[in-house]
């Protein structure tokens, strides 16, 4: 978990660099790092369930970005309970950050502004929502789906 938090701190640091004239490289790295912070947070909470500690890193490397974002969760219609609402926040944040990260890393034509980065970092605060629900069955089930397992 510490690694994910370090990454989120790094993202804030990168986004704040350069004062009123930030370099696009810093802003892009900030976006990308914010995505990886959430990515590693989720993976860490999945692999910690694996009993053999020295195999956890290998297990984590089996996660695929595409599968993770395409893990569908069909929320029931009507008002969501607090756990479902938090999970919805995390899923939406992950999808947005993943697309932002792709743009930041590969689309050099897109110009990032300080405001856009600030809103990206606010999205990355889905950390808080995830922490509230990480041990809930619904959250652990969703991690399984992100890993590639079919929903039961």
Interaction site with another protein (CB under 8 A): 66, 69-70, 95-96, 98-100, 102-103, 111, 113-116, 118-119, 122
Q: How far is the CB of 122 from another protein (least distance, A)?
A: 5
Q: How far is the CB of 116 from another protein (least distance, A)?
A: 5
Mind giving me the DSSP string for the chain? Answer: -HHHHHHHHHHHHHHHTTTTS--HHHHHHHHHHHHHHHHHHHHHHHHTT-S-GGGHHHHHTT--HHHHHT----PPSSPPPHHHHHHHHHHHHHHHHHHHHHHHHH-TTPPP-HHHHHHHHHHTTHHHHHHHHTTSHHHHHHHHHHHTPPP-
Minimum CB distance to another protein smaller for 103 or for 145:
103
Minimum CB distance to another protein smaller for 5 or for 99:
99
Minimum CB distance to another protein smaller for 49 or for 70:
70
Minimum CB distance to another protein smaller for 97 or for 139:
97
Minimum CB distance to another protein smaller for 4 or for 27:
27
The rounded distance, in Å, linking the Cα atoms of 126 and 13 is: 18
Q: How far is the CB of 117 from another protein (least distance, A)?
A: 10
Q: How far is the CB of 77 from another protein (least distance, A)?
A: 10
Q: How far is the CB of 55 from another protein (least distance, A)?
A: 29
């Amino acid at each position: 978990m510490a690694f994910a938090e370090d990454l989120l701190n790094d993202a804030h640091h990168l986004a704040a660099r350069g004062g009123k004239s930030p370099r696009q490289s810093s802003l892009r790295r900030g976006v990308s790092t914010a995505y990886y912070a959430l990515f590693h947070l989720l993976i860490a909470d999945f692999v910690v369930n694996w009993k053999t500690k020295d195999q956890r890193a290998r297990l984590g490397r089996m996660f695929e970005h595409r599968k993770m974002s395409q893990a569908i969760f069909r929320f029931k219609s009507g008002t969501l309970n607090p756990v479902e609402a938090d999970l919805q926040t995390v899923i939406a944040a992950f999808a947005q950050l993943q697309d932002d990260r792709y743009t930041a890393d590969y689309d050099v034509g897109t110009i990032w502004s300080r405001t856009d980065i600030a809103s990206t970092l606010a999205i990355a605060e889905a950390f808080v929502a995830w922490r509230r629900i990480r041990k809930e069955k619904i959250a652990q089930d969703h991690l399984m789906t992100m890993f590639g397992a079919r929903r039961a």
